[in-house]
A = this chain, B = another copy of it.
């Protein structure tokens, strides 16, 4: 069908192996024949066949990207577009291709992963989420397949998996301390999904800060956002606010959730930051567009993706490296926090 290495060989009057060597620019081929072969290649419009190459090389130069299941709405979060931007950028400079998981449920995603590794379609995997009790990480570990996690693995895998993460514990502790410093005593916590590691870290940071200030953690002030990003959190927030005395400040796991909170508080007739202070996480583009603009923690999502990909490529190339990389965060003070009068 399409033009192969043999056609080029014939045209250039050399052996196929010679053509192959010209393609890889082997030094053991004379300049003369190189030019001759290259001429034949362009004249015939030759392009190497990817599958034939991968088959013989046992390497694909493509990376698998595993997204969380999309119906839950997680994918709607700009977080993922932004990591993907970082991944894409690094993959591009190192000439790696990207293969995307398409599974719609946890089971399907697990199947995707199995398919990818068993069919030898990809050289490594970049995992965009980490949940408790997930089967993917144990599987990858068992298969000794190169992969990098964006996020932190559960404790039992701590030593074995390579990952990029923020210090979410410290970040959450810091923002809580900030609210404490502003004079807030009743601080609520709105976390992400309960089975995600990042939620655990956030909560521990939050609790740690309170304990250091000798404020006991009020369970009524803790809520989680279990399904998607919107509906559920609204209900929980109403419950939270109904509990008197209600908090004067909120630590919110995600800018998008913060936006949702902003909207609900507005409906309740509460003003931010006058009646309620809010700190959230991520610093997605949108967080500077809200009214008022969000005080948030920039976790450098793009870097998370970029560095994660770099780590993965290093693994594939058998380069020695630390198994953990912590991306620093940065506190972005905007207009959702205010000193609380005691």
Contact = CB atoms under 8 A, between A and B. Distances in A.
Interface stretch (A43-51, A127-135, A149-157): A43-51
Most buried by B among A51, A96, A97: A51
A76 B70 contact: no
Contact of A50 (B49, B89, B120, B293): B120
A118 interface: yes
Given A47-B118, A97-B99, A263-B291, 9 more contacts: A48-B119, A50-B121, A51-B51, A70-B85, A75-B81, A88-B100, A98-B102, A99-B100, A263-B290
Contact of A263 (B1, B104, B262, B289): B289
A52 interface: yes
Chain A contact-residue range equals: 35 or more
Nearest to A87: B102
Contacts of A62: 99
A218 interface: no
A26 interface: no
A102 B91 contact: yes
Given A286-B259, A289-B263, A291-B262, A50 B119 contact: yes
Contacts of A75: 81, 84-85
A51 B47 contact: no
Contacts of A76: 78, 81-82, 85, 285
A2 interface: yes
